[in-house]
Amino acid sequence: MTTAAELMSRITAELSTGLAAAGRGRGRPTLVAVAHGSRDPAAARTVRALLAAVRAQRPGLRVRLGHVELNEPLLRDTLSTLTGEAVLVPLLFARGHHVTRDIPETLRAAAEHGRGTHAESPAHPAAHGPGTRTAGTRGSGIPGSGTPARADPTTPQGPTAGGRPGPRAPALAARVAAPLGPHPLLAAALAGRLAEAGWRGDGVVLAAAGSRAAPAAADTAATAALLAGRLGVPVLPAYASAAAPTVAEAARALAARGCRRIGVACCFTAPGLFAHRTAADARALGLTFAAPLGAHPALARLVLHRYDEELACAGTRAGAPATPAATVRAAA
């Protein structure tokens, strides 16, 4: 029997295929995957493996990587190498500080300090909170999302050696997609990693990084609900930092409900501080621990879906020009 989660995942896949097909034939924007970054060398390798899976699923699509911190290339450096259009896809799972503040601020800084990116007012109701965009998806709900702005054609790059105005700088028009969660494809990837870890139990702790932002907690709770619907067992969110409950507290709450074979689903893209901390907590409690999501095929599909979704939601269609909102120039 097909479950509701499986049906939603299938619908999402069909929508992504249709959105991707609609975008062929006109220059496709670059997909910029935005990872957090980690001092663990395995993190960068894992993220690159995920992007290799993304490229394999969409041959010909330009895919670049930028990190919020700790690893190279940093997002600002990646943006400095690009022209044309781009969609930034956060490899993050909720509307926490990095999604709502750091990434948009990096875009603004890129616009102010050299060749960079900008966006005008959002073209969808997600500007003030999540809204339905396609089946099984939601709006980004972040500042800076929306239709891309173009370079101001009246602004030259700068003077030439002879003092005359130089050629106009090619601009990068960019928009930010929604984070990866919540979504049925994320639940599919989490369930897949639990199965690979050998979990066959009656309760799950969904371990996430944690944030003080209420929207981030709501997103993680929604992901837990999607995973519970897929697995048919209780799933409680837990956090490695900044929020409660901890993994141990969530595990005790499940045990109080009568759960005896508890697994820990790891809502992290790659190994790093929080993933290691969560793994140590799980081992100390004798719980089955699933690996970070990495290059799971469902996660690669989700990255592409967020890219396609943002293009469709922003009104990027043949013959639909964007209105300038800011000027982005190459550094003189």
Domains of the chain, by residue range, sit at 4-181+298-313, 184-293
Alpha carbons 20 and 312: distance in angstroms, whole number? 9
Q: Which of 2, 71, 76, 98 is nearest to 32 (CA)?
A: 76
Burial of 87 (0-12, 13-18, 19+ CB in 10 A): buried
C-alpha distances out from residue 45 to 38, 116, 248, Å = 11, 26, 29
What whole-number distance in Å separates Cα of residue 112 and Cα of residue 258? 56
CATH number of 184-293, picked from 3.40.50.1400, 1.20.1070.10, 3.30.70.270, 3.40.50.620 = 3.40.50.1400
* First and final C-alpha spacing in the chain: 62
Q: With beta carbons less than 8 A apart as the criterion, state whether 231 and 191 touch.
A: yes
Check if 4-181+298-313 and 184-293 are the same fold: yes
- What is the phi/psi pair of residue 68, to 5°? -70, -40
Angle at Cα 181 formed by Cα 175 and Cα 182, nearest 5°?
Answer: 125
Where are the extended beta strands (E) located within the chain?
Answer: 30-35, 63-67, 84-90, 172-176, 203-208, 235-239, 262-266, 288-289
C-alpha dihedral sign at 216, 271, 102, 92: negative
* 194/312 Cα distance (integer angstroms): 33
Q: How far apart are CA 110 and CA 290, in angstroms?
A: 38
Paired tokens of 25? 């034939």
pLDDT given at position 314: 73
Three-state secondary-structure class, residue 331: coil
8-state DSSP, 99: I
Q: Which residues of the chain have pLDDT under 50?
A: 22-25, 115-117, 119-161, 165-169, 316-332
- From the number of C-beta atoms within 10 Å of its C-beta (0-12, 13-18, 19+), residue 126 rates as buried
User: Side-chain half-sphere of 73: how many Cα atoms within 13 Å?
Assistant: 14
**Residue pointed to by tokens 């109080």:** 256
Q: What is the CATH T-level fold of the domain 4-181+298-313, as seen in this structure?
A: Rossmann fold (3.40.50)
CA 200 to chain centre: 29
Residues present in the chain in total: 332
Rg (CA), the chain: 21
- DSSP 8-state code for residue 318: T
Question: At which residue do the structure tokens 């790059």 appear?
Answer: 157
Distance CA(224)–CA(238), nearest Å, equals: 10
| Under 8 Å between Cβ of 166 and 159 | yes
